Amino acid sequence: MSTPTATLTKHQMYIDGRFVEPAGGQFFESDNPYTGEPWALIPRGNAEDVDRAVRAAHKALTKGPWPKMTATQRGALLRKLGDLVAANAKELAALEVRDNGKLFAEMNGQLNYIPQWYYYYGGLADKIEGSVIPTDKADMFNYTKYEPIGVVAAIIPWNSPLLLTAWKLAPALAAGNTVVIKPSEFTSASALTFIKLVEQAGFPPGVVNIVTGFGADVGGPLVEHPLVAKVAFTGSDATGQKVYEAAARGLKRASMELGGKSPNIVFDDAEIDNAVKGVISGIFAATGQTCIAGSRLLVQQSIHDQFLEKLVAFAKTARMGDPMSTDTQVGPVTNKPQLEKILKYIDIAKSEGAQTVLGGARASRPECGTGWFVEPTIFSGVNNRMRIAQEEVFGPVLSVIPFKDEEEAVSIGNDVVFGLAAGVWTQNMRRALMMADRLQAGTVWVNTYRAVSVLSPFGGYKRSGLGRENGQDMIKEYMQTKSVWISTATEVPNPFVMR
């Protein structure tokens, strides 16, 4: 626990249109993963802060300018916010790199793409249409309309904070809701800076609020608050289950994007060099800290040895170091607990009999300095029953599993509790379509990997989540349907009989 000092950047929470100190007066340090040293002070919120934020959001939902705005006016504010994000993209990207250690090249690309969420849902805000229902009741006019759910709790992970904030915030606001954001305790600085742009865009006080802190202090009280109507969560399946259980006790709506153990499947007719790049992208980009990581490489037996040799040779060339450098390809792990978790799984894999063909340890290269780096690691000789093949590591660790034919590829690919994504590498169109049909995953990429778009729905099967994000239809996950009946009869019929 720390008190503010001149050497660390101090942030404040944002509640009801104002930057405020935490109710308990406490702060905690946020570390730079590249140096392993603290660089910022983040407010440590508690249940009192949560209550203030939720009540401010509820007030903004029911009183003041926000509920009086037309959908067109809400859309205009979202588009203005998109412009402000675009104008400040480089600064926000650098802030995220400092806080979560991902490559500047990736974060800058994300920040330049993030405005599209605010443009897209800003444009969609006034295009959600109800229906006139041709009912079977005489002398009745029936129509439907969509209305906001209420106060939305948006719980954001540490791997891509502002991107995943946009995935929730843009549709929630377009639908007319108000929002309380709880960023990860590891990466709160970018959200607390981004909120200045929300204020600058002209959103009324209380429409968007941010409470920072730890799960038990802030996350739990936020999910359980009686005025929260919906929970939008991204994170691990274990935490997601607890959040879902808490939301269920309050009969709250919930959308959850959780973990993955995605298969990246290479057939013997694949373009080998492209498939190698796709596998690298799937597991070593973002230091493997992505829910869609292709952490299980399934390779057809006839090309297994050849493919593994090429893969290891390519992975050995990965440049590690300062994530702000344009030459760096693999950055540090975002936080120390995650570093320890990854190293533990590496030890588990070795104890299970997996063969280390690359890496397998904490990086000690001079260019990694004192940061939290793990060598890109590849295990061969893995079978799908091993923990390294079943459990999400969330790091640069790849398990290589051979398969004989299409049937076995499907069987192994689906034989996990997750179902977020999958990759297929083949030149056979019949095979590509068949695999896409049979793989139990919310996203299937063919001859590519890690492609996402504001236009395309994203979410998981099985323990990888509930609901979808992105795309046109998912805005209705932030809305509720109202059915309106109007009688055109000249007199009321028998009042003791249901119409």
Active site residues: 257, 291
Neighbouring residues of 334: CB distance < 8 A, sequence distance ≥ 6: 33, 100, 101, 102, 158, 159, 186, 187, 287, 289, 372
Q: Give the Cβ contact number of residue 456 at 10 Å.
A: 13
Rounded CA separation 43/185 (Å): 9
Return the bridge partners of 27, or none. Answer: 2, 43
Q: Give the Cβ contact number of residue 8 at 10 Å.
A: 17
Rounded CA separation 173/118 (Å): 9
Rounded CA separation 476/121 (Å): 12
Give me the amino acid identity at 396.
Answer: P
Q: For 386-419, b where at least 16 C-beta lie within 10 A, e where not — what string?
A: bebbebbbbbbbbbbbbbeebeebbebbbebebb
**Sign of the alpha-carbon torsion through 225, 66, 116, 422:** positive
The DSSP annotation for 280-298 comes to HHHHTGGGG-STT---EEE
Give me the amino acid identity at 251.
Answer: L
Rounded CA separation 145/350 (Å): 57
